[in-house]
Amino acid sequence: MHQGIPLHYFLIVSTLMFFIGIFGFLTRRNLITILMSIELILNSVNINFVVFNRYLFPHKLQGHFFSMIVIAIAAAEAAVAIAIIINIYRNFRSIEVGKVDEMKH
Amino acid sequence: MNLSDLMIMRHELLLTLLAVSILIMDLGAGPKHRYLVLPVSLILFFVNLIIGFLPVREGTLFGGMYHTSGLIILMKNILNIGFFIVMLQSFTWLKKEENKLKMSEFYVLLLATLIGMNFMISSGDFLMFYLGLELATIPMAALAAYVHHQTRSAEAGIKLILISALSSGILLFGLSMIYGTTGSIFFNEVKAAYSSEPLQVLGFIFFFAGMGFKISLVPFHLWTADVYEGAPVGVTSYLSVISKGAAVFIFILVLYTVFTSIDFLWKDLTYIIAVLTMTIGNLFALRQKNLKRLLAFSSIAQAGFILLGIIAGSKLGMASVIYFILVYIFSNLGAFGVVAAIHDHTGKESMDDYNGLYHTNPRLSLLMMLSLFSLAGIPPVAGFFGKFFLFTSAASGGYYWLVFIAVLNATISLYYYLLVVKAMFINKNDHPIEPFSSDITTRLGLLICTAGIVALGFYNTVYELINKLSIGIN
Amino acid sequence: MNNLVMFFILSGLILVFSVMTVLTRRILRSAVFLLFVLLATAGLYFMLDYMFLAAVQLTVYAGGIVVLIIFSILLTSHISERAAMAGKWPMIASAFVVLLGAGVTLYTIYSYVFKASAEPAIPSTMKSIGSHLISYGEDGYALPFEVISVLLLAVMIGAIIVAKKEVK
Amino acid sequence: MHGYAYTVYILLIPFIIFIFLGLFGNRFKPMFSGIVGSAGLLVSFILSLTTAYRYFFASAPGEDGYTAIIAMNAVWLRLTETLHIDMGILLDPISVMMLIVITTVSLMVHIYSIGYMKGERGYERFFSFLSLFTFSMLGLVVAANIFQMYIFWELVGVSSYLLIGFYYQRPSAVAASKKAFIVTRFADLGFLIGILVLSFTTGTFDFQTLTDPAGPAVTHAGGATFLGLSVITWSLILVFMGGAGKSAMFPLHIWLPDAMEGPTPVSALIHAATMVVAGVYLVARMFPVYALAGIPALNVVAYVGGFTSLFAAVIACTQLDIKRVLAYSTMSQIGYMMLALGVARYGGHEGLGFMASMFHLFTHAMFKALLFLCAGAVIHAVHTNYMNEMGGLRKYLPITHITFLVACLTIAGIPTFAGFFSKDEILAAAWHHNKFLFFVEYIVAGLTAFYMFRLYFSIFQGKQAHYHHVPQEAPYVMTIPLMLLALVSVFSGFIPFHSLVTSDGLHLDTRIEWGVAIPSVLIAVAGIGVAAVMYRKESALPERMASTFRHLYTWSYHKFYIDEVYLFITKKVIFRYISTPVAWFDRHVVDGTINGIAWVIVSASQKVKGLQSGQLQQYALVFVSGAVLLILVFICLLY
Amino acid sequence: MHFLNLFVVVPALTIVAILFTRDLKGARWASAVGMSIQLVLAGALVFMYLSARNAGVADEMLFTADSTWFPSLNIRYAIGVDGISVAMIALTAVVIFAGVFASWEMEFLSREFFISLILLCSGVFGFFISLDLFTMFLFYELAVIPMYLLIGIWGSGPKEYSAMKLTLMLMGGSALLTVGILGLYFHSAAAGGQHTFHILEIAKTDIPVTAQRFFFPFTFIGFGILGALFPLHTWSPDGHSSAPTAVSMLHAGVLMKLGGYGCFRVAMFLMPEAANEMAWIFIILTTISVVYGAFGAIWQKDLKYINAYSSVSHCGLVLFALLMMNQTAMNGAIIQMISHGLMTALFFALIGMIYSRTHTRIIDQMGGLMKVIPFLSAVYVIAGLASLGLPGLSGFVAEATIFVGAFQHADTFHRVVTIVATTSIVITAVYILRVIGILLLGPIKNEHFEHLGDAHWYERISTIILVLGIAGIGLAPLWLSDMINFSLAPIIGKLSGLVNDVPLVLN
């Protein structure tokens, strides 16, 4: 295929990255590392879009721009999340996710 | 493309204009006049609401990324109505001393989410859809975390933003698969190329999960109650009604126009999720003592009912869903309006605090009862019609057992609604909530809700209009 | 062939640092590993001839987000602090779910035959990207571009509101 | 056409009086209601007499004998095409005879009650109920339709209930009234089912169609069978069950002695003369069906009647409450009538028993009413019901004494008194059909004479008992009815029943069969003699007799413990072993299931709360697991 | 305005009038006037109906009106009455009239009480005039839901529990009903045709037997719960015993009849084949209910419980007779509905009146009331006699018709269960007489009772109107029976018809 690298290779990488991100989300106890896991997830999605665009549908730039938008949104999300995390830190004096469970049941 | 074409985007443009003007007014007004920004924005939004009903051209813009139709405009107008009520209801709270420095920002953020929803509903491709979705979600997190001095508010904010990020990650992964297997992100092209290949199914399910988060379907619902409880009441009601309504709108639009070729699949999926959502939502709602939390779980159960309309896949189904959302906006905002009014005056939101409310605040109690009955689907209030039409549409697809499960769930839900009614009307209380009178805005909001709850069922024109505009899978 | 080697190096980096990002117990290191992942991803984009995207990835992601994250880490934790991981059972459950999900997904992807479009490719030069970005016709992205500006504005306000210190 | 339409007034007058007194009686002086009631009944009485005269004597019977006349008929309720409940008046020999019996006795009782009930609380209520009863009883006898009969049958039952419970503040009266109602109600259940079966088989309620020898009831007799008996037979047995209940046949007799808790005039009217013979009347009314289609049922009637007569007579010998003695005597005499019907067959001389039964019904009504009214007068005078607290009343109550003696002689079957003739016919009929029952009846005749004179001697002769105040003869308003009834008792034996009331309406030649009559008279005299020896003077003989036949005496004194059996069945079995478990079952099992469902839901709600742990990552785990699970399900399993 | 609409409009106007009153005095007079008008209207309706029939009008439904409500779903506001609904309307008017007077002294939140009560009754009226399943269902639920507040606020004893139980069980019933109604709707037209909720139009189409088999149990049980079908009757004892007087009257007297009415007007009329097929199951259940309810009543000590169980028995008889599916038995069933409605309302009214004097409902604590409150006691006896089926009162007419009708069945099974059911008349006598004996007769147990006052004028009005109804039907049943018979004919015709079998579409 393109430049000798099969499409599936990219997809395997991105899929693994996606699930590693999810694993991180599920297991890290620190809110910021959870946020980083999300970045991993979004990054893997970006790879997908880009690769599909390049390999399969190069006649348009849909995947490409999708990735761009995702990057921008990831930034926005991170901004708000970090703002809230700082707020949490002020309120809880900790950014341990386990401690943020005042509301339950 | 010329300027008149842009008028097709009137809803979004006006809202953006409104948001910007509020921002500018807020910046421009001196500290003495800042309190004027709120009423002015209210009035401006009301004007916008009215303008929304003026006829507008249907059409497609930006190469198919944006499109409107009578149906979509109707949905936007419905959201506008709800938005207006939320604005009215949060007025009292915003005027409080604690929010002095961030009054109008609240409206701006809310407006931003509404713009996002409008774009989302109007989207013609997954990119705009995703963008709208995020625009409708990210500022929400900021709104949920609006109250600084409350840990719960921050907690709600972080839970919302993180889970929403996760869900949008999963949704995006699904979208990437959809893109990869169909070669396009445009709805009409995706529709043409979609079949039930496993990878496409996988992509669809990831997409479904992402939407499930927005509509709070089980098992993607767990954030709901915590966020609803922690967020300010206005935000909660907004989340539970407008946000959810918009998500349902786009969800049903996408299902009915894009994934038509795998309708058998999403119908089965919806069946399972509907049963789970109704049942789990109700089971959790049963033992809630906090009104906001109770309404949160009830709104999960209501989402399950909404799926009953979606599953039909017919014009009837869509009409029922839209009608139900409209009714639901009035009913739920009525209930939240009462909760907000009481919270604003007393800070109380536990069911036990409501004991004997009827004797001190009869009108609020009556409205609360009406709203709850409407939520439960009891005649003659509008909720009855809404629910009945949903059941009808599910039955039209032959899903009689699903209808049965749903109606049984409606009965269970009646139980906890009645618990609230019981608290207000029957239970005795030595220290009931003192009689108080609310602001004119709160009253106006509640009045609109009451009118909606009472009249919507009998005023058949509304339903017929919706029905006329609705579409089904052909 | 070179490309393949390059790909293996980059993807190897991506995967290893991804794993390390989620497994290392030091938060700051984790941020640095994330930076490596993002850089390697940018490398992939370069390989695919998406220069502009790679640049965006470098500036926005690596330059913006990671810096933001590092700042916040510095703001909220001590350098030496070791982040706790979830307990044993959550770990096992998460690992199980993730492995299952990854397995199914990979299997599904692998068994799918992707169909490429026959139409000729369009260049992904800066010029063409630029013109696409401001075009409002077919394959034009002016609208998302504008909307995202609204989003960023809203997010800015939101972040300020949330992070702003309360005036008591 | 037939000119009998006026007979409807015989019924309507008491009914109107009932309504009037019931609603407005308390607006007037008490005496007023008595007078109104009696006056109204007098009119009914005269109308009945006129009817009887016109029916029997004014026109000669045709070839078919006395035929039935429908004086009026109106549909009351349409049930099916063929089945409709009518309100009609059927005049035939037995109903006309019953009109006379009822109006006569009722009139006497009304007049008597004016005196007897003086000063009682609820005077107007009493007369109102009496009128209701009279109305119902008249309606019962003239019923043209078996369902109409059932309707009035029930009304009679409820009037009886109301009157027995007249002294409603006395617990025993309340209990007795309840018992009477429930026992007869139970019997009526049989009657109702009988009607259902009968109407299902024959498609009609109409008496004339039913009893027509060529009608559907008779022609369907050979139809389906159940346990070896035809359906018609079963229905007749069920109908007889109703009759047995009303007529206090064994084993449904237990309510009658207790019913004596009611005011004595009530006992005279309802529980001696009229209502209790309704069962006999019912069988007589349906007689052609019994005789032509249900001989086994008729045998049941005969044996039940025979056994009851003996059984009741034995008990009567040991009772001390004079009204109870009379009550058992009534049972015994009705047993006679039933037996007579049971040994009769349709038509000609075979129908002797039928005629005898009706004859005895008539005479018995008169002398038994008389006996009760006399007893009432005695009780009125001495304020006790127990014969061992009485004695030597002869000189205080001369009129009562004479009339009571006349009645005793009549019931004992001493020749020239009415009872002799009617009883003789019965014995003759039994002799021809069933020797065993015949001998039983001989014994009963002796016992009857014995216990009646035991009663007579204990009350009017014997030792002078100690009274709180000197007993006084009743006022004329009470004694005149006594004398009138005594006259009727003496002379009614000469009424030519054999040519008036027969099974097929035709004239029947009868003569006194001396071979049967003489021994029976001798037995009666012997019975009187024994009673005289034992009770005329104070003696230790009764005690000795009692100890000699200790077991028999105790059993008899305790009415063979039938009440206890019933009590066991009702209190223990129904109340404790059915009703209580049913109530328990309902509360705990049925309702428990419903509550259990609620409990399950609520506790499920409690159980799942852990899902909502407040832990963000757990939410995410559920989220992801849900998505993965759905993928697994939909990709691997479904598609 | 259409005449029948008045039956819904008058209660609505009454409610508005009550809103303008200030206190108990105003509220009760407004209600009394409103419900008197309603009574007059009902009388006029009976008269108009009978004269129309006498004039030879042979339409199945009279005074019909039909206006579209939701055109897209073909939901219509269709009204009309036949002899059966006229009878039920008359019953409702009488009972609510009596009910208003029975709650004359409702001090606590009186306006709210009367509003809820009349709201309830407007639901009932609406139900009986509806010909459209949708509006029928709407009115049905409208009638059920005010019960919660009525029992919960103004009730006694474990009122909250009872109110909740009653509401939830009845709503569970309406859950079943929803499915049934929707099933009927979607099978009401051949493929491509316009679906309809209109009863008469559905009756004209042949619903496939497979569909009937599926939906009949839903519909029948759904209505059956309100008609106290064993074993789903347990809301009734608790609900009735906790409810305030007028509510018990209305609920047992009228609301339970909605169940019976719905069972045949919807379930059996529209799904005749399934009704024929499945009747035996429900016949067994109802037979149990008849006998079981009666036995259950014997043991009870609370007056209201006794009457509630008696209602289970009597309402069981209604369903029992309906399931016999011949004209006579069904006629009996409807007479029984009316008869039971009147007498149970009378019972509950009396129990309420006695309770307001003695402050107890436990029979063992009372006794000899006949002496102190003769009027109420006498009426109680009349009600009791009516209940145990004394001729001359309405209960007998109903039971006689039912038993004769049921026994006309050619099938042995039906006749056997009929005999079993007839035994209830004895058991009924037992518990009725037991209560009368303990409660009214005998010596006065409590000296406080010596000074009780007899019925007030409003209580007399309340009871006398019911007694008049009971006696009126009992003495002259023919007009009622004929009125019902005429309207039953088409239903019976439908029940004995046949349709072809088309498979049911079900996911």
- Clarify whether residues C78 and C93 are in a common domain: no
Residues 6+ apart with CB under 8 A from E506: B398, B400, B401, E214
Q: Is the dihedral of CA E381, E384, E390, E394 positive or negative?
A: positive
CA distance C38 to C18: 9
Residues 6+ apart with CB under 8 A from B300: B216, B217, B218, B221, B224, B225, B277, B280, B281, B284, B285
Question: Among B3, B131, B12, B114, which Cα is nearest to B67's?
Answer: B12
One-letter amino acid for residue B118 of the chain:
N
Among D388-402, D510-524, D554-568, E121-135, the range with the most confident prediction by mean pLDDT is: E121-135
Mean pLDDT score of chain B? 88
Residue carrying structure tokens 């207000």:
B424
Are D10 and D51 spatial neighbours (Cβ–Cβ below 8 Å)?
Answer: yes
Establish if C90 touches chain D: CB-CB under 8 angstroms: yes
Q: What confidence tens digit (pLDDT) does each residue in C29-59 have?
A: 888 899 999 999 998 888 888 888 898 888 8
What is the predicted pLDDT for the residue at B275?
A: 93
- Clarify whether residues C66 and C91 are in a common domain: no
Stretches in chain E below the pLDDT threshold 50:
498-507
One-letter amino acid for residue D421 of the chain:
F
Residue carrying structure tokens 């005969």:
D302
Distances E351 to C81, E297, E496 between C-alpha atoms, Å: 77, 15, 43
Measured between beta carbons, which residues in chain B are less than 8 angstroms from residue E507?
271, 397-402
Q: Is the dihedral of CA B351, B353, B359, B364 positive or negative?
A: negative
Distances E1 to A77, A90, E60, E71, E86 between C-alpha atoms, Å: 62, 69, 22, 21, 19
In percent, the amount of chain D with pLDDT more than 90 equals: 1
In percent, the amount of chain B with pLDDT more than 90 equals: 30
What is the predicted pLDDT for the residue at D638?
A: 64
Report chain A's C-alpha Rg in angstroms: 17
What is the predicted pLDDT for the residue at E192?
A: 65
Pick the range with the lowest mean pLDDT from B224-238, C81-95, E463-477.
C81-95
Measured between beta carbons, which residues in chain C are less than 8 angstroms from residue D632?
100, 104
Q: Count of H helices and E strands in chain C?
A: 7, 0
Which band of pLDDT confidence, cut at 50, 70 and 90, is reported for residue C1? low
Are B442 and B89 spatial neighbours (Cβ–Cβ below 8 Å)?
Answer: yes
Are A48 and C48 spatial neighbours (Cβ–Cβ below 8 Å)?
Answer: no
CA distance C69 to B92: 37
Question: Among B121, B164, B171, B167, which Cα is nearest to B139's?
Answer: B164
Which band of pLDDT confidence, cut at 50, 70 and 90, is reported for residue D174? confident
Q: Which domain holds residue B294?
A: 261-474
Which phi and psi angles does D390 have, rounded to 5°? -115, -175
What is the predicted pLDDT for the residue at B207?
A: 92
- Between helix D171-202 and helix D231-246 the angle, nearest 10°, is 160
CA distance E222 to B404: 12
CA distance E264 to E407: 19
Q: What confidence tens digit (pLDDT) does each residue in D450-508 have?
A: 888 888 888 887 777 677 777 777 788 888 888 888 888 888 878 777 777 777 777 77
Residue D222 has pLDDT above 70, yes or no: no
Who has greater pLDDT, D541 or B306?
B306
| Tokens (6 digits) for B177 | 């698969």
CB contact under 8 A, E138 and B395: no
- Clarify whether residues C3 and C79 are in a common domain: yes
Number of domains in chain C: 3
Which band of pLDDT confidence, cut at 50, 70 and 90, is reported for residue A15? very high
Would you say domain A7-95 falls under CATH 1.10.10.10?
no
What is the predicted pLDDT for the residue at C166?
A: 64
CA distance E105 to D625: 62
H, E, C per residue of E374-411: HHHHHHHHHHHHHHCCCCCCHHHHHHHHHHHHHHCCCC
Domain ranges of chain A: 7-95
Any domain includes C120? no
Establish if C99 touches chain D: CB-CB under 8 angstroms: no
Neighboring chains of C (3 or more beta-carbon pairs < 8 A):
A, B, D
How crowded is residue D532: how many other Cβ atoms within 10 Å of its Cβ? Answer: 16
- Clarify whether residues C99 and C74 are in a common domain: no
CA distance E453 to A38: 81
Question: Among B189, B187, B191, which Cα is nearest to B69's?
Answer: B187
Number of domains in chain B: 1
Q: Is the dihedral of CA B308, B313, B318, B319 positive or negative?
A: negative
Measured between beta carbons, which residues in chain D are less than 8 angstroms from residue E389?
154
Any domain includes C119? no
Across the strands, what pairs with D229? D226
Any domain includes C150? yes
Give CA angle at D274 (D489, D505), nearest 5°. Answer: 80
Question: Among D34, D36, D43, D38, which Cα is nearest to D11's?
Answer: D43
Record the pTM: 0.88
Residues 6+ apart with CB under 8 A from D496: none
What is the predicted pLDDT for the residue at D389?
A: 77
Which band of pLDDT confidence, cut at 50, 70 and 90, is reported for residue A1? very low
Q: What confidence tens digit (pLDDT) does each residue in B86-131 have?
A: 999 888 888 887 777 788 888 899 999 999 999 999 998 899 999 9
CA distance B298 to D581: 41
Torsion, Cα of B50, B53, B58, B62 (10° steps): 30
Mean pLDDT of D51-64: 77
In percent, the amount of chain A with pLDDT more than 90 equals: 33
Mean pLDDT of B215-220: 88
Question: Among B231, B243, B445, which Cα is nearest to B338's?
Answer: B445
Which band of pLDDT confidence, cut at 50, 70 and 90, is reported for residue C168? very low
Mean pLDDT of B216-245: 89
Establish if D613 touches chain A: CB-CB under 8 angstroms: yes
How crowded is residue B35: how many other Cβ atoms within 10 Å of its Cβ? Answer: 14
Neighboring chains of E (3 or more beta-carbon pairs < 8 A):
B, D
- Clarify whether residues C78 and C1 are in a common domain: yes
Measured between beta carbons, which residues in chain B are less than 8 angstroms from residue C162?
142, 145-146, 157
| Chains B and C are in contact, defined as 3 or more C-beta pairs closer than 8 angstroms | yes
Are A84 and B154 spatial neighbours (Cβ–Cβ below 8 Å)?
Answer: yes
Measured between beta carbons, which residues in chain C are less than 8 angstroms from residue D618?
90
- Clarify whether residues C65 and C97 are in a common domain: no
Give CA angle at B468 (B465, B473), nearest 5°. Answer: 135
Question: Among C110, C7, C9, which Cα is nearest to A2's?
Answer: C7
What is the predicted pLDDT for the residue at B306?
A: 92
CA distance A40 to C18: 7
Q: Which domain holds residue C103?
A: 84-114
Establish if B272 touches chain E: CB-CB under 8 angstroms: no
Measured between beta carbons, which residues in chain A are less than 8 angstroms from residue B280?
none
Judging by beta carbons within 10 Å of its beta carbon (0-12, 13-18, 19+), is residue E68 exposed, middle or buried? middle
Q: What confidence tens digit (pLDDT) does each residue in D223-281 have?
A: 666 767 778 888 888 888 888 888 888 888 888 888 888 888 888 888 888 888 888 88
CB contact under 8 A, E299 and D583: yes
Residue D571 has pLDDT above 80, yes or no: no
Any domain includes C160? yes
Residues 6+ apart with CB under 8 A from E469: E91, E94, E342, E394
CA distance E126 to B413: 26
How crowded is residue B152: how many other Cβ atoms within 10 Å of its Cβ? Answer: 20
Exposure string of B161-179, with b = 16+ CB inside 10 Å and e = fewer, is: bbbbbbbbbbbbbbbbbbb
Are D357 and D280 spatial neighbours (Cβ–Cβ below 8 Å)?
Answer: yes
Q: What confidence tens digit (pLDDT) does each residue in B379-417 have?
A: 888 889 999 999 999 988 889 999 999 999 998 899 889
Mean pLDDT of B20-44: 84
Any domain includes B134? no
Pick the range with the lowest mean pLDDT from D138-142, D292-296, E81-85.
D292-296
In chain D, what are the helix, strand and coil shares in percent, each to the nearest 5? Answer: 75, 5, 20
DSSP for B336-374 reads: HHHHHHHHHHH---BGGGGTTHHHH-HHHHHHHHHHHHH
Which band of pLDDT confidence, cut at 50, 70 and 90, is reported for residue B134? very high
- Clarify whether residues C14 and C43 are in a common domain: yes
Q: What confidence tens digit (pLDDT) does each residue in B83-95 have?
A: 999 999 888 888 8
Mean pLDDT score of chain D? 82
What is the predicted pLDDT for the residue at B321?
A: 92
Q: What confidence tens digit (pLDDT) does each residue in C91-114 have?
A: 888 999 999 999 989 988 888 888
Residue B165 has pLDDT above 90, yes or no: yes
What is the predicted pLDDT for the residue at A3?
A: 62
Exposure string of E146-169, with b = 16+ CB inside 10 Å and e = fewer, is: bbbbbbbbbbeeebbebbbbbbbb
Any domain includes C39? yes
Residues 6+ apart with CB under 8 A from D600: none
Question: Among A83, A81, C87, D611, which Cα is nearest to B226's?
Answer: D611
In percent, the amount of chain D with pLDDT more than 70 equals: 96
Centroid of chain to Cα B372: 17
CA distance E507 to E505: 7
Torsion, Cα of B153, B156, B160, B163 (10° steps): 150
Establish if D615 touches chain A: CB-CB under 8 angstroms: yes
CA distance D242 to D190: 6
Any domain includes B287? yes
CB contact under 8 A, B61 and C148: no
Which site among B286, B400, B416 would you substitute to test the E interface, given the most E Cβ atoms closer than 10 Å to its Cβ?
Answer: B400
Mean pLDDT of D42-58: 86
| Chains C and D are in contact, defined as 3 or more C-beta pairs closer than 8 angstroms | yes
Measured between beta carbons, which residues in chain D are less than 8 angstroms from residue C98?
624
ipTM for this prediction: 0.89
